[in-house]
Each structure stands twice: as C-alpha cells, then as structure tokens.
Structure 1
Amino acid sequence: MKLSMKQKKAFTGVLFISPWIIGFLAFVAYPLYRTIYMSFFNVMFGNKTGWSYKWVGLENYKRILFEEIDFVVAAQNFFISTLIYVPIIIALSVIIAMLLNQKIKGKSFFRLLFFLPIIILSGEMMENMSTYGGMSFSSNPLILDAISIVIPSASLVKLIVSTFELIVQLLWYSAVPVLIFLASLQKISKDMYEAASIDGASKWVAFWKITLPTIYPLVSLCVVFLVVFLANFDTNPINGIILESKYDGSRRDGYASALSILYTFVQIALIGILYFGTRSKKKEAR
C-alpha cells in the first residue's frame, strides 16, 4: 500500500508524538477518568469487602460548596493571591534576567544564587522550614531587634518584615521564569542593539522595541507554569485539605476526588484569565 507524501509526513508526526500519547493515556487519561467517576460516589474500602461504591450524585460537590466551606475559603484566597502574585513574579523575573544577562563580575555566582534554591530544596523541606521558622524573619529575634533600633514602631517593624518575607518568597518562585527569560535574552543579536544605538535609541527605547517584544511570547508560558507550580506546591493549604479528606472517615476518596475536580477548574480559570490577559496582541497581517 503506497502512501502519499502528505500521509507519510502525518504518519511520521504521529510516530514522534506517540510516546506522549502513550504517556497521556497511561498516566493522565485513566486517572482523570477515575477521579471524575469517584467524585459521584461515596467510596469505601474494607479489608474483607474491598472497594465499595455508593452512588451519591452531586452530593460531594454540594457538601464542598455549601456545607463544609474550608475548601471554598482556601480556593478564594489562592485565586486572589495568584492573580496578584503571577504578574509581580513575571516582572521580577524579567528584571532579574536582564541583570544576569549583563557583563558583570561574578555573573555565574549570581545565577547560581538564584537557581540553587529551587534545585536543592523540595517542597517538603520548604514546608518544614516554614513550620520551624526557617523561612520567617519575624521569628528571628536578632533581626527584629536590629530593625527595632532604627524603627521604634512595632507595627511598622512588623510591616517591613512581612514585606521582606513576601519578596523573598516571590524571588523563590521566580527561579524558573528567570531561566526561561534569560535563555531568550541570550538569543537576541547584539547587532540589533548596536543598530538601535547608532540610530539614537536609548536603552529604555531599546528595551521596549527590541527586548520586550522578543521575550513577551514567553510570558504566556511562564503564566501556565506559575499557576500550576503554585497550585501544586506542597505548602499550598488546598493540597493539605484534599489529602486529609482522603483519610477522613466522613469524606473518603469520593469527596477528595470532587475536591480535585473543583480545584482543577480553579486552576483552569486562573490560567485562562492570566493567559488571555498577557498574551501577545499582535495584529495578523492582512
């Protein structure tokens, strides 16, 4: 059976993506189906009876949304904080990437400084550090005493320390976006900046006309990464609610599955809002 050139190209393309298709069917499609299926049941497990499923319809969803609102409150907090944090993280990432792309002494050290935490620290380690005060400057009396010498107001000291803790946390989340933007910046030809300089363009103008248009298409990629990263980070309280519900005798796997489905919709809504709000708005050539 002879194939046309178009069919051969299509067959070759299918072969290239076949590992992804197999992985999706094995590790995504079936677990997703099982999660959706169990969300409509009260799932129980017994040593003698094994798994048992009792149809409850939308009862799990009603409990989550209207009765036990711990998930609703946590989801609202996550939704609002993510809408605020993601643009700030992206802006910080662009600034840091531009600084790391400059010809400065110790450039390799500064790059390592930003990338090392996300490589060596897992979410569990960061959660333990947060629990025992390793990520909190407010629990360190030396830092508080040093700031109190300069600023006697206790409320202002607390505000400064909280702000600094937030900045450190945002810098933690910006490591991968910095890497993405830095890779894009290194692909910009220096000749473009030299030509712009000869034409009288300042560095500020060059940033808006050359740098930003080049890296802007990657903003959407960073948006998707950040939402998924923040949503599935171990310190996110929503993940704790889902995990605890799985082992709660009054909730079990069906309730936890419904939580997971609703949480997925929250993430999709966030990605949609941030993606369409930051995507490139270039007009197509007519």
Structure 2
Amino acid sequence: MKLNNRQRENLYGYLFIGIWIIGFTWLTLYPLIMSLIYSMNKVTITVADGIVLNNVKFQNFIDVFSTDFDFVNELTKFIGEIFLFVPIIIIISIMVSLLLNQKIKLRGIFRSFFFLPVIIASGPMINELLKQGAGTIPMLENPEIAETLSQLPRFLRDPISSLFSQMIMVLWFSGVQIVLFLAALQKLDSSIYEAASIDGASPWEMFWKITLPALKPMVLVSSIYSIVFLATFSNNKVITYIQSKMFDITKGYGYSSALAWIYFVVVAILLAFVYLLFKPKKEEKAK
C-alpha cells in the first residue's frame, strides 16, 4: 500500500515515539501498577512459590499512620524543607541569573561554572562530600547561631538546621534554574528598560514592574523542577527509609510500596499547590 506524505510523516512520528512508549510502559507504567498492587498486599518471597501475595486491603496504609511515627516524622521534615529550600533556591537563582545577564567579561565561562556541578556531580560523590562536611558553611556553625536555633519550635528548627548543613549543595544545584531564568531574561526587549529609565523608573522599580513579572512563568517551572529534584535526591531521608523497609523481614515489599505511594501523593499535592500558586490568571492570559 502506497502512503501519502501525511501518512508517511505520521508513521515516522509513531516509530520515533514508539521506542519511548515501550520503554515507559515496561520501565515505568508496569512497575507503578505492580507497586500499587503490592501496597494492598503482604508480599512474601519463597523459593518454591516465588512472589506470594496475601491481600490485606488498606492495612499497610493504616499501619503507616498508626504505628510508623518515624516515617511520618521524616515526611513532615521533608515538607518543611521543601517550603524552606525551594524559595531560597529560586531567589538565589534569580539573583545569579541577573548578575550573569550583565555585560561582563568572560560571561560564558561564569555561566559554565554555575552549571558544571549539575553535570559532573553523582549520587556517591555528593554523599561523600556531605560526610566530609563539605556541604556546610563554617560560619553557620557558630555556637550563638546554634543556641538561637535551639530556641525555635521543632518544625522550624529541623528544616533550618538541614538548610545550614546543606547550604553548599543548595547553591551547587541551582544550575538548571539559573539557566531557565537566564533564558527568560534574554527574551526581554532592552527597549522596555530604556523607556522605563526615560520615564524616571529606578532599577528597583524596573525589577519589580518589568523583570519579575516576566520571570513568573519560569518561577513556576523552576519551582516544580526543584521540588522533583529534592524529592528524588539520593540523600533524601524519606527515600532511604522506604528502601530500608523494603528489605525488612517484618515489613517487606508491600509495606514499602504503601510508603512510596503515600510519598508520591504528598509530592503530587506539593506540585499542585505550586502550580495553583503561580499559574497564569485569566487576566494575564487575556493580555
């Protein structure tokens, strides 16, 4: 059968995305479905029968919130860290991108310096740096600062202490966000700033009235990226806890799958909250 140009283009398109669809189905969708099934069962592995499922319905989820206070505590800490880390990452990324967008010598090299850690840093390397104390800023370990932190409520003290201990890592992994904000800044027409300057606008007013509104779509993208990155970070204690329960004789795959789904729902809620917070309003879309 002879294909016309449109049918041929469609066929090529399906061939290109077909590999991705097969990979997604086998490596992502199938494990997701199986983990959901496991979360409703007590999973045991035997030599004779292999994987044996004993349906317990929602008992695994009930056990998490009724007995597993360690997981709830780690999950609460993670949520607190998200609300603390993400705004700091966004603010630092905007500040650095504004500096790198200036007409300075060796601007391209400076941009590469900020993005290079994202490329070369691996999970084991990061863990080793954190173990050796390379993730913290010595000035922040001052006894007076520690004393001040100890007087804060726990829900504030734990995230702030975690931020201090990983400050270098937070700065290190702002590379992608910096690139996103740089791309948005370079799309702005310089004539807008010239007109505002002629009208007597100060640099601070131009930032709030011109630059920041233009960066708002990238704030949404960068916030979502930051949440997903922090949620899947190799040093994430929630993920480490879930993995430890997977190989626990008394808990196993079923219980750890329930933990993973609870974690997934929490991350999805955080992403939905950020989207609703920064999504374009109807008035902005009309413009």
TM-score by length of 2: 0.82
Is the CA contact (8 Å cut-off) linking 2:135 and 2:167 kept in structure 1?
no
Match of 1:104 in 2: 104
User: Mean Cα displacement is larger for which, 228-237 or 269-278?
Assistant: 269-278
Match of 1:254 in 2: 254
- The answer to whether 1:155 aligns with 2:144 is yes
Q: CA deviation at 1:211?
A: 1.8
Q: CA deviation at 1:271?
A: 0.9
Match of 2:152 in 1: none
Flag the 1:156–1:81 CA change in 2: closer, same or farther, 3 A: closer
What letter matches 1:70 in structure 2?
D
The 2-side partners of 1:59 and 1:13 are apart by 48
The 1-side partners of 2:168 and 2:207 are apart by 26
Is the CA contact (8 Å cut-off) linking 2:135 and 2:166 kept in structure 1?
no
Aligned-residue identity in percent: 36
The 1-side partners of 2:44 and 2:193 are apart by 65
The 2-side partners of 1:119 and 1:177 are apart by 14
Match of 2:125 in 1: 125
Match of 1:87 in 2: 87
CA deviation profile, 1:70-125 (whole Å, cap 9, x unmatched): 11110011012201221221111111111111112332332233222222111221
Matches within 5 A, 1:170-249: 170-249=170-249
The 1-side partners of 2:167 and 2:50 are apart by 49
Equivalent residue of 1:216, what SS?
helix
The 2-side partners of 1:32 and 1:219 are apart by 30
Match of 1:285 in 2: 286
CA deviation profile, 1:223-257 (whole Å, cap 9, x unmatched): 21111100110111011111111111111111111
Corresponding residue pairs, total: 274
Equivalent residue of 2:25, what SS?
helix
- The answer to whether 1:66 aligns with 2:55 is no
The 1-side partners of 2:254 and 2:199 are apart by 65
CA deviation profile, 1:20-51 (whole Å, cap 9, x unmatched): 54443333221111110110111121233211
Q: CA deviation at 1:168?
A: 2.4
Q: Which runs of 5 or more structure 1 residues have no equivalent in the other structure? A: 1-6, 149-153
What letter matches 1:155 in structure 2?
E
Is the CA contact (8 Å cut-off) linking 1:83 and 1:274 kept in structure 2?
no
Is the CA contact (8 Å cut-off) linking 1:39 and 1:258 kept in structure 2?
yes
Flag the 1:256–1:188 CA change in 2: closer, same or farther, 3 A: same
C-alpha RMSD over aligned residues: 3.2
Is the CA contact (8 Å cut-off) linking 1:180 and 1:218 kept in structure 2?
yes
Equivalent residue of 1:239, what SS?
helix
Equivalent residue of 2:45, what SS?
strand
CA deviation profile, 1:192-250 (whole Å, cap 9, x unmatched): 32233333333223223332222211111112111110011011101111111111111
Is the CA contact (8 Å cut-off) linking 1:101 and 1:185 kept in structure 2?
yes
What letter matches 1:194 in structure 2?
E
Is the CA contact (8 Å cut-off) linking 2:137 and 2:168 kept in structure 1?
no
The 2-side partners of 1:158 and 1:109 are apart by 41
Match of 2:76 in 1: 76
- The answer to whether 1:27 aligns with 2:16 is no
- The answer to whether 1:269 aligns with 2:247 is no
Q: CA deviation at 1:177?
A: 0.7
User: Mean Cα displacement is larger for which, 23-32 or 70-79?
Assistant: 23-32
Equivalent residue of 2:286, what SS?
coil
Equivalent residue of 2:103, what SS?
coil
Match of 1:151 in 2: none
Is the CA contact (8 Å cut-off) linking 1:90 and 1:222 kept in structure 2?
yes
Q: CA deviation at 1:127?
A: 1.3
Q: Which runs of 5 or more structure 2 residues have no equivalent in the other structure? A: 1-5, 150-160
Q: CA deviation at 1:17?
A: 5.7
